[in-house]
Amino acid sequence: MAIEAKTRLPAFDPAQLEAIAKILGDTSDGLTGSELEHVLKQSKIPDVDPTNTKWKRLYNAFAEFQNINKMGNHVIMFIVHAMNPAKYISKPELFNLRRNRLNIALALAGYELKNDGKLRRSEKVNDLDSAIQRASKFKSSLAARNVHDDIFKFCTAEILTENYFHAVFEAMKSISSKIRTLSGLTTDGAQLVEGAFALGKTMSPMCAINKLSSETEMGEQRGFVSLLIGMYGTIRNPLGHNAKIEWNMSEQDALDMMTMISLVHRKLDSARRLANP
């Protein structure tokens, strides 16, 4: 539900104000001191403690104004001004980072910050887990794609915090774990894949994703091996060897990788260990 401009909104409680102030006044990812000053003026909130650290300066400005006026309207106004999408044209990832963090705090107050930078009323949640899950756009997108449940077992925390780099890295580990369980092997990467699924000239593989009763099915098995080795080479190995800062993974790339990992899981679900490889 949209927030009417003339509606008197309830004041935020101190814990909610502190969370919002810490997000927008964060040392690394928050507003600069000059930005904070400008947005306070835009929002008609007196800057009562300008020499304090950024988040405490912001918290004290919010708290002082609310104590006098007994409403949350100007805090909402501050968030809307600070999160105007036009300010983030050259840095959309910063917009998404701040928005996702704010939405965790705002869910506890019954609000949601949308992609257009506007706040809407939402059903208030009462616990942190519910707030995090609601705020995670990445998790919602994965659920819409019906990705395999086993992925969430390995990287729920990374998904909920929208840590794309580590979410994909942990999801790749879920494939290795399932292949080891199926095959009994203890190796990793290409060695594990070839040991479990590679078709030899004189012997059958340890495991099969189909009946291997025709050239088409054997071709599918060979393609599956190539796919997995390619995924280890292009996804898992670079993630394991490079620092996060060296791989600027986008949400779209992460979603596509997770979808591919999900496909592999479904193939492995129907795979079987051969009795006499």
Q: Over the stretch 79-91, which tens digit does the pLDDT of each residue have?
A: 999 999 999 998 8
Higher pLDDT, 122 or 52: 52
Euclidean distance between CA atoms 156 and 138, whole angstroms: 11
Q: Is pLDDT at 21 greater than 90 in this prediction?
A: yes
Q: What is the mean pLDDT of residues 239-262?
A: 77
Averaged pLDDT score across all residues of the chain: 88
Tell me, what's the pLDDT at 165? 85
Among candidate residues 194, 189, 133, 182, the one with its CA nearest the CA of residue 162: 133
Task: Tell me how long the chain is.
Answer: 277
Tell me, what's the pLDDT at 239? 55
Structure tokens at 227: 């796919």
Q: Could you give the 3-state DSSP secondary structure of residue 137?
A: helix
Name residue 2's beta-bridge partners.
Answer: 120
Euclidean distance between CA atoms 198 and 19, whole angstroms: 53
Q: Over the stretch 161-206, which tens digit does the pLDDT of each residue have?
A: 778 888 998 999 999 999 999 999 999 999 999 999 999 775 679 9
Q: What is the mean pLDDT of residues 108-137?
A: 85
Which residues, in sequence order, are CB contacts of 90 under 8 Å at separation 6+?
none
Q: What is the pTM of this model?
A: 0.57
Cα end-to-end span (Å), the chain: 61
Name residue 213's beta-bridge partners.
Answer: none
Which residues, in sequence order, are CB contacts of 63 under 8 Å at separation 6+?
14, 17
